[in-house]
Amino acid sequence: MDQTKQDDEHGYNLFPERNAKPKENSFKQTMFTFHHKCKNMLHFALETSPYAKLLLSAMNSSGCTVYKDRHFSCEECDGAVSGGFDANSSQIVLCQNNIHQQAHMNRVVSHELIHAFDHCRAHVDWFNNYKHLACSEIRAANLSGDCNFSSELNRFHFGLKGHRQACVRDRALRSMLAVRKISREEAGKIVDEVFDSCFNDHAPFDRIPHTNKDAKFASRHYESRDRYYGNV
Ligand SMILES: [Zn+2]
């Protein structure tokens, strides 16, 4: 007996929602929910994260105003990636299937905004110059909060001197391997070559923001900079 005939006989054709490909329907439903949630979390990040706020105003002053609807896109992504910066369209991709918490969204938005900031201020050759890519990945890992550990337990384990450098190096390396077909050895060599100068380049922050509070302070400092200059 073929499936259609069997469905007819069992009356399943009366209930298409439950008969026809229930998996696909629930998949679409989940996608819709993720998409909606992603957009809400993005909105919240842009409105409240001091990292995002500082980066957005810095880009604005550099002539690269970022618009939420034009420059961000919530999408389904393959694998475990959380986000990406598409240099061709100057768009930030947020992986709606892999970002489920606001704190994670805040970090991804800040990380990708640092790439966008680098893209705006310098003519980054993302595709041919691996040093440029490595430098931006080092900066993004260092300045976005990717390597901040706020809980006491983590601070105990990770507060050791040099941990931040090791975390930043590791993350930059992993990011490079995820987006370019190069060997771990080659990527490691490039990251090490540019590490010191890129790790110490904190723009547009005045120093490494170790906590949300640092970022808030930096953001306020950034906003008031014109006033200070105005007085000299
Ligand atoms: Zn990155």
To the question of pTM greater than 0.85 for the whole model, the response is no
Q: Domain range for residue 165?
A: 125-203
Asked whether the predicted pLDDT for residue 4 surpasses 70, the reply is no
Residues 86 and 155 in one domain: no
Mean pLDDT of 70-95: 93
- Of 68, 196, 205, 189, nearest to 145 by C-alpha is 205
Ligand 1 centroid from CA 60, angstroms: 21
Ligand 1 centroid – CA 227 distance (Å): 33
Which segments of the chain does DSSP mark as H helices, in order? 3-9, 16-19, 22-48, 50-61, 68-71, 102-121, 130-143, 152-158, 163-179, 184-199, 212-223, 225-231
**DSSP state, 85?**
E
Q: Does some domain include residue 216?
A: no
Q: Cα of 112 to ligand 1 centre, how many Å?
A: 6
Domain assignment present for 228: no
CA distance 91 to 202: 23
CB 156 within 8 A of CB 162: no
How far apart are the C-alpha atoms of 60 and 53, rounded to whole Å? 11
Residues 115 and 140 both lie in one domain: no
Q: Are residues 104 and 60 in the same domain?
A: yes
59: left (phi over 0), alpha (psi -120 to 50) or beta: alpha
| Domain membership flag for residue 40 | yes
pLDDT tens-digit map of 137-183 = 999 999 999 988 754 445 555 556 688 899 999 999 999 999 899 99
Q: Is 81 left (phi over 0), alpha (psi -120 to 50) or beta?
A: beta
3-state secondary structure string across 140-193: HHHHCCCCCCCCHHHHHHHCCCCHHHHHHHHHHHHHHHHHCCCCHHHHHHHHHH
Q: What is the dihedral of CA 59, 61, 62, 68, to 10 degrees?
A: 30
Please identify, among 68, 87, 121, the residue that sits at the C-terminal boundary of a domain: 121
Q: What is the pLDDT of residue 7?
A: 55
- Report yes or no on 8 lying in a domain: yes
Residue 110 domain-assigned? Answer: yes
Are 70 and 134 in a shared domain?
A: no
Q: How far is the CA of 106 from the centre of ligand 1 (A)?
A: 14
| Six-digit token string for 231 | 């007085």
Q: How far is the CA of 221 from the centre of ligand 1 (A)?
A: 26
Whether residue 5 is found in the same domain as residue 85: yes
Q: Is residue 212 part of a domain?
A: no
Distance 6 CA to ligand 1 centre (A): 52
- Number of structural domains in the chain: 2
The answer to whether residues 26 and 109 belong to one domain is yes
Q: What sign results for the dihedral spanned by CA atoms 217, 218, 219, 220?
A: positive
- Digit-coded pLDDT (tens) for 32-55: 899 999 999 999 999 999 999 999
Q: What's the pLDDT at 64?
A: 94
187 Cα: distance to centroid of ligand 1 (angstroms): 14
Among 65, 88, 121, the domain-final residue is 121
Rounded CA-CA distance 141/68 in Å is 22
pLDDT band with cut points at 50, 70 and 90 for residue 117: very high
Residue 74 lies in a domain: yes
Residues with a catalytic annotation lie at 112
